[in-house]
């Protein structure tokens, strides 16, 4: 079994060695704090058109480093205590983990943020969820959900509950990931609450073991566990599967051309992620970081990212600037009631990371009955 905590520690050590070597070799790039904003972010979150617009408005240059996952982000920050970056974009459920262990973020100065530009419900969720000793360390940037997509030609009634992933009516036409999000879906369908249980190791193990047992029982109905967006799209478009777990961004791209494929959020609620905006503990251009935050959360700017990525933004009013088809789908699917019922991903203690890795591997290894 892979130990995720050990992997993260190794990643941090490796990154520290690389940074130390670079500094010793004179390869470290210095930046004048008043002129350069250094960002650590994800592909698609700082499109060239917006970077140029920001430069024109502020006179600041922008240096961007991209990350592929949150372990990489944490490793890079931990190696230098945040030095080398001003503005960073961790996923919500990874913020307090990194801060408690490495102290890589700076507490936010809310008086410098135009909070009226941010969705109040998401703002409350993130600022409360990233609060340590009374100070918040992140605000919401964009978000997305995982729920179900169904082919209404063959499974018109599916999608009301995650229990449909174990419905013999759809045997051989079901797919979902052998990952944490599927475990959460099954757990909620079983009436379990992993978000509540995660604070206690024994309780979390119990929830995950019960969920694993059910998922192994249901494995005989699964055609395959999908691993990539392209794989899922191919399965759906070839009509090999009718009932699947799905990221909403995939549905937003598929449904306009294939209206029989409908994104449905079951009664248990979608599971969801939030990517955030935060300031590095080692930031040199703190003012520049806040300028970017206020710039990127303007609805007309946030809409550029929504149109490119398919993600939903935490910016108030951004739907006025997205394509009409996208705005219609978002409004129809994400009603206030649905958003209120989203089961957001929650911070994982190291033991929970290891438990999840264990049950995921056992699910994939288990034979179909």
Residue 337 lies inside a defined structural domain of this protein = no
pLDDT category of residue 8 using cuts at 50, 70 and 90:
low
Q: How many residues does the chain have?
A: 369
pLDDT category of residue 368 using cuts at 50, 70 and 90:
confident
Domain match, 91 and 113 both: yes
Mean pLDDT to the nearest integer, 5-18? 54
pLDDT category of residue 302 using cuts at 50, 70 and 90:
very high
What is the predicted pLDDT for the residue at 325?
86
What is the predicted pLDDT for the residue at 5?
52
Residue 339 lies inside a defined structural domain of this protein = no
Residue 324 lies inside a defined structural domain of this protein = yes
- Work out how many domains the chain is built from and give that number: 2
Domain match, 243 and 107 both: no
* Mean pLDDT of the chain, nearest integer: 92
Look at 16-20, 201-205, 351-355 and tell me which has the smallest mean pLDDT.
Answer: 16-20
Residue 222 lies inside a defined structural domain of this protein = yes
Domain match, 126 and 231 both: no
Domain match, 305 and 264 both: no
Residue 338 lies inside a defined structural domain of this protein = no
What is the rounded end-to-end Cα distance, in angstroms, of the chain? 24
Residue 216 lies inside a defined structural domain of this protein = yes
Mean pLDDT to the nearest integer, 232-258? 96
Domain match, 133 and 11 both: yes
Q: Cα 251–257–259 angle (5° rounding)?
A: 70
Angle (deg, nearest 10), helices 201-218 and 180-189: 90
Domain match, 48 and 68 both: yes
Domain match, 121 and 24 both: yes
What is the predicted pLDDT for the residue at 15?
52
Whole domain around residue 121: which residue ranges? 4-137+273-331
Domain match, 218 and 353 both: yes
Instruction: Rounding to the nearest 10 degrees, give the CA dihedral for residues 14, 15, 19, 24.
Output: 0
What is the predicted pLDDT for the residue at 350?
87
What is the Cα–Cα distance from 273 to 343, expressed in whole angstroms? Answer: 9
Residue 162: give its domain's CATH number: 3.40.190.10
Write the pLDDT tens digit of every residue in 51-65.
Answer: 999 999 999 999 999
Residue 341 lies inside a defined structural domain of this protein = no
Domain match, 151 and 119 both: no
The rounded percent of the chain whose pLDDT value lies above 70 is 91
CB atoms within 10 A of CB 7: 14
Domain match, 185 and 315 both: no
Domain match, 173 and 310 both: no
Domain match, 182 and 291 both: no
What predicted TM-score, i.e. pTM, was given to this entire model? 0.85
Mean pLDDT to the nearest integer, 125-134? 95
Write the pLDDT tens digit of every residue in 191-237.
Answer: 999 999 999 999 999 999 999 999 999 999 999 999 999 999 999 99
CB atoms within 10 A of CB 339: 19
Residue 33 above 70 pLDDT? no
Residue 355 lies inside a defined structural domain of this protein = yes
């Amino acid at each position: 079994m892979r130990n995720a905590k050990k992997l993260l520690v190794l990643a941090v050590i490796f990154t520290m060695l690389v940074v130390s070597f670079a500094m010793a070799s004179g390869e470290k790039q210095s930046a004048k704090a008043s002129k350069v904003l250094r960002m650590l972010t994800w592909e698609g979150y700082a499109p060239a058109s917006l970077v140029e617009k920001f430069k024109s408005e502020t006179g600041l240059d922008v240096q961007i480093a991209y990350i592929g996952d949150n372990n990489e982000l944490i490793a890079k920050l931990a190696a230098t205590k945040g030095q080398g970056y001003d503005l960073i974009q961790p996923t919500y459920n990874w913020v307090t983990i990194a801060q408690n262990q490495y102290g890589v973020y700076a507490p936010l100065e809310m008086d410098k943020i135009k909070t009226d530009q941010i969705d109040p419900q998401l703002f409350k969720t993130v600022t409360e969820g990233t609060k340590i000793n009374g100070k918040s360390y992140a605000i919401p940037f964009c978000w997305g959900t995982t729920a179900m997509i169904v082919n209404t030609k063959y499974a018109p009634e599916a999608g009301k509950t995650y229990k449909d992933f174990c419905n013999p009516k759809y045997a051989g036409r079901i797919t979902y990931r052998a990952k944490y999000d599927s475990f959460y879906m099954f757990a909620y369908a079983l009436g379990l609450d992993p978000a509540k249980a995660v604070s206690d190791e024994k309780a979390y193990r119990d929830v995950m073991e019960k969920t694993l047992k059910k998922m192994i029982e249901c494995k005989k109905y699964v055609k395959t566990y999908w691993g990539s967006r392209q794989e899922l799209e191919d399965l759906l478009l070839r009509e090999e599967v009718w009932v699947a777990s799905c990221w909403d961004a995939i549905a937003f791209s598929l449904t306009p051309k294939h209206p029989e494929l409908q994104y449905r959020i079951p009664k248990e609620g979608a599971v969801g992620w939030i990517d955030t905006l935060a300031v590095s503990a080692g930031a040199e251009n703190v003012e520049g970081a806040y300028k970017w935050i206020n710039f990127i959360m303007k609805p007309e700017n946030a809409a550029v990212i929504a149109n490119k990525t398919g993600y939903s933004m935490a910016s108030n009013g951004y739907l006025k600037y997205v394509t009409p088809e996208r705005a219609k789908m978002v409004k129809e699917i994400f009603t206030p009631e649905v958003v209120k019922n989203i089961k957001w991903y929650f911070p994982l203690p190291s033991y929970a990371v290891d438990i999840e890795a264990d049950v995921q591997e056992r699910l994939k290894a288990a034979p179909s009955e």
